[in-house]
Amino acid sequence: MAQKTGLTGIWRRNSLSIVVLALFALFWTCQAVAGWLSHNEMRIEHGLTPLDISRYLWSSHFIEATSENWESEFLQMGLFILLTVFLRQKGSAESNPLPEEEQKEKPGEAAKPKPPAAKRQPPRGFGRWLYEHSLSLVFFLLFAFAFIVHAISGAALENNERLAHHEPPQALFGFMSSSQFWFESFQNWQSEFLAVGAIVLLSIWLRERGSPQSKPVDAPDDKTGG
């Protein structure tokens, strides 16, 4: 069957990423506008001049709020990808099969051989190791970047507030060792792993027809994986 070309083909092959990224752009824009209005309300209360939207987007208030959330998302995805390599959850669509379930499937797979598919040829040596772990490594690098940006912008925001109250500024590492910095981090990290734990466990008993995050509707609850 010939593949569709043009915009229809692009949409058919990439609709999931297009919609998800469009929703990201929409909600990030809404965050920027709401944060801009809220921040200016606070500035007016303190007798300061309101910022225009372009200046607000480069402010520590907006960058800190954004990086703080991105940090937790990248940490969650990187760790979850890595943990699913070694750990299992019986009955969950988010888990690899248990060893005994893999053994049960092998005879059936041998009885119905599948035609060989074209395989990507990864590099060799250290390059191969990097390729084999590239997904989790990139997420951890993104987490590290967001963590650093959160620390720098959070320190700048804290010092702006200290300046408004005529208090001495705080050094970057002083802010990073403060309870405020770790409160901001942990409040996001815990919520991300709550969401991961929820989908791991709820996918044991609940279904969503047509979703790869769900087992087939008629699959038993104790069947691991989709």
Query: In the chain, helix, strand, coil percent, each to 5?
Result: 70, 0, 30
How far, in Å, CA of 75 to CA of 192, rounded? 9
Contact 94, 77 (CB under 8 A): no
DSSP class of residue 112 equals S
Cβ–Cβ under 8 Å, residues 128 and 122: yes
Task: Quote the pLDDT of residue 93.
Answer: 92
pLDDT for the residue numbered 46? 85
pLDDT attached to residue 123: 74
Q: pLDDT tens digits for 163-173?
A: 888 899 999 99
pLDDT of residue 120: 66
46 phi and psi angles, rounded to 5 deg: -95, 10
Band of the pLDDT at 74, cuts 50, 70, 90?
A: very high
In angstroms, how far is CA 53 from the centroid of its own chain?
Answer: 27
Q: Is pLDDT above 90 for 142?
A: yes
- The per-residue pLDDT for 112 is 54
CA dist 96 and 225 (Å) reads: 6
Tens-place pLDDT, residues 163-213: 888 899 999 999 999 999 999 999 999 999 999 999 999 999 999 999 989
Rounded distance between C-alpha atoms, residue 76 and residue 193, angstroms: 6
Q: What is the pLDDT of residue 116?
A: 61
The residue that leads in pLDDT, 117 or 51, is 51
What digits encode the pLDDT tens for the residues 99-134?
A: 877 766 554 444 455 556 666 676 778 888 999 999
Q: How far, in Å, CA of 173 to CA of 121, rounded?
A: 45
Q: What is the pLDDT of residues 13-45, one digit of tens each?
A: 999 999 999 999 999 999 999 999 999 999 998
Please check whether residue 88 is in contact with residue 58, taking contact to mean a CB–CB distance below 8 angstroms: no
Confidence band of 226 (pLDDT split at 50, 70, 90): low
pLDDT of residue 111: 45
